[in-house]
């Protein structure tokens, strides 16, 4: 058995869903279980509708939902044709009616937009898309069973970023999917789950990847396929620079570090369930299914080799300057703990002769939090920064790589540099406006010539024959600073 997850870009239209169906047909012998995201940009539309309702703008919320409804009905009619009207009346109309009722309650003040209410609103994207995909597959000759993920994925009550209760979830999955009628493909929504008392939860950004990994681990799948709109894991973020090379394979830890630092191709928590059972995760491109993609495995080729350049924008650098360095460790630990408790990710910490610097995610709460710093500490804040990470096993313990990187970045205003959260990453902080140029310089330094056993050159990435689809096997005080008062 395998698990196949399809993201929103793979389900953005009727023709895209038909393309997904053809991919699934090519894998039927491997007994796939299907996990789907919301269609296209539906989640963004639901967030906007919820925010409008919370501000009391019932008309704007209603109009946003009306656009989502029109989109889903239109694509459903293209997919189901003569069977569409019955499906729309029985499946789509009731759900959009429920959603409108919920938004009216929010806009009129009967309910507040709590994290629990937000999860309930956002769940409609995957609940609707999974039913549409299941019905489309049936019409296209794939016998399916639609499963409500909320009845299978059990979580705690941390709404908007719930943590799965793994063993209870595995038990539910094993009691359900293997006992479907032979030849029947399970289809379920990703991203959503439910607490023990039935409240709807979501797993956070990119949570459908995590759902796929949980399903794969629960069913002891042979592999977990993540189908998206890129050919695999690349040597650079295509949103920043085109022309990256595709990795043939990468380790779980390397992929985890890349995703933590902004690689949107994979959710950071995805690796854990698969890693425990050493289930390969395959990243593949829905639009180019003949490309074999990137395999994420326990041990990949290329020890102590830079595998990729990850980057994250929207960062802030906080410099602490102290009069007495003896108290620096406790101040550093205290501020780091303060960031963690307020869910502000710390990407890099660097000690200096006169203090310490943190690179953290932007937060509207930053000024308020920094008022808690001891009055003897001077705090300087630099905004509009980006973190760049060189990712690869052992790069943090290879001094020559840091020297090469700093040479490549010569002339760039590098605000911080050092080992990231592990030995798998070296990090650099630059101005947002210098991100692209910095990535291009680092890419030339480390990827001008690539090892064909590790990488597929961007010039050589071609599709394999259609007959081979589904046949691959497991293998193994500067300018820009400002002073923030601390009292």
Burial class of 28 by CB neighbour count within 10 A (0 to 12, 13 to 18, 19+): middle
What residues in the chain have per-residue pLDDT under 70? 302-304, 325-327, 460-487
Domain 9-211: assigned CATH number:
3.40.1160.10
Predicted local confidence at residue 379, as pLDDT: 86
User: What is the C-alpha to C-alpha distance for residues 117 and 122, in angstroms, rounded to an integer?
Assistant: 9
Predicted local confidence at residue 470, as pLDDT: 46
Characterize the bridge pairing of strands 32-36 and 185-189: parallel
Predicted local confidence at residue 304, as pLDDT: 62
Q: Express each pLDDT in 457-480 by its tens digit.
A: 877 655 554 444 444 433 333 444
Predicted local confidence at residue 65, as pLDDT: 97
Topology adopted by domain 308-450+479-484: VC0802-like (3.30.2130)
Q: Express each pLDDT in 289-326 by its tens digit.
A: 999 999 999 987 766 689 999 999 999 999 988 877 66
User: Which residue is it, tokens 């009691």?
Assistant: 175
Please state the pTM of the whole predicted model.
Answer: 0.87
Q: Hey, where are the domains in the chain? A: 9-211, 308-450+479-484
């Amino acid at each position: 058995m395998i698990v196949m997850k399809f993201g929103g870009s793979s389900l953005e239209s009727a023709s895209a869903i038909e393309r997904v169906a053809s991919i699934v047909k090519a894998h039927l012998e491997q007994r796939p279980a299907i996990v789907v995201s919301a269609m296209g940009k539906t989640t963004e539309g639901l967030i906007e509708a919820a925010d409008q309702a919370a501000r009391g703008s019932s008309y704007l919320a209603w109009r946003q939902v009306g656009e989502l409804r029109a989109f889903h009905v239109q694509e459903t009619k293209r997919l189901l044709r003569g069977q569409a009207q019955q499906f729309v009346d029985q499946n789509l109309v009731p759900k959009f009616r429920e959603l409108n009722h919920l938004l009216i309650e929010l806009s009129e003040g009967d309910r507040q937009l709590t994290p629990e209410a937000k999860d309930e609103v956002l769940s409609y994207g995957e609940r609707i898309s999974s039913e549409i995909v299941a019905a489309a597959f049936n019409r296209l000759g794939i016998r399916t069973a639609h499963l409500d993920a909320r009845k299978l994925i059990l979580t705690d009550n941390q709404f908007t970023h719930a943590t799965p209760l793994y063993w209870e979830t595995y038990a539910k999955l094993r009691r359900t999917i293997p006992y479907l009628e032979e030849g029947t493909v399970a289809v379920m929504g990703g991203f959503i789950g439910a607490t023990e008392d039935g409240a709807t939860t979501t797993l956070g950004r990119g949570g459908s990847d995590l759902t796929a990994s949980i399903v794969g681990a629960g069913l002891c799948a042979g592999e977990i396929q993540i189908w998206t709109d890129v050919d695999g894991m690349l040597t650079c973020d295509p949103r920043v620079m085109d022309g990256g090379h595709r990795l043939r394979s990468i380790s779980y830890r390397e992929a985890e570090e890349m995703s933590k630092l902004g690689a949107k191709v994979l959710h950071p928590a995805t690796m854990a369930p698969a890693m425990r059972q050493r289930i390969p995760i395959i990243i593949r491109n829905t639009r180019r299914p003949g490309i074999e993609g990137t395999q994420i495995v326990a041990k990949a080729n290329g020890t102590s080799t830079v595998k990729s350049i990850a980057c994250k924008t929207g960062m802030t650098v906080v410099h602490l300057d102290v009069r007495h360095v003896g108290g620096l460790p406790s101040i550093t630990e205290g501020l780091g703990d303060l960031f963690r408790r307020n869910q502000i990710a710390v990407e890099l910490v660097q000690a200096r002769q006169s203090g310490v610097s943190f690179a953290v995610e932007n937060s509207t709460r930053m000024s308020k939090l920094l008022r808690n710093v001891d009055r003897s500490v001077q705090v300087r804040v630099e905004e509009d920064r980006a973190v760049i990470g060189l990712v690869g096993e052992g790069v943090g313990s290879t001094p020559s790589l840091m020297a090469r990187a700093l040479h490549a970045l010569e002339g760039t205003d590098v605000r911080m540099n050092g080992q990231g959260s592990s030995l798998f990453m070296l990090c650099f902080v630059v101005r947002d406006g210098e991100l692209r140029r910095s990535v291009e310089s680092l890419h030339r330094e480390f990827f001008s010539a690539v090892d064909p056993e590790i990488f597929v050159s961007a010039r050589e990435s071609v599709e394999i024959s259609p007959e081979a689809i589904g046949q691959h096997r497991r293998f193994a005080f500067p300018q820009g600073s400002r002073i923030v008062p601390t009292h």
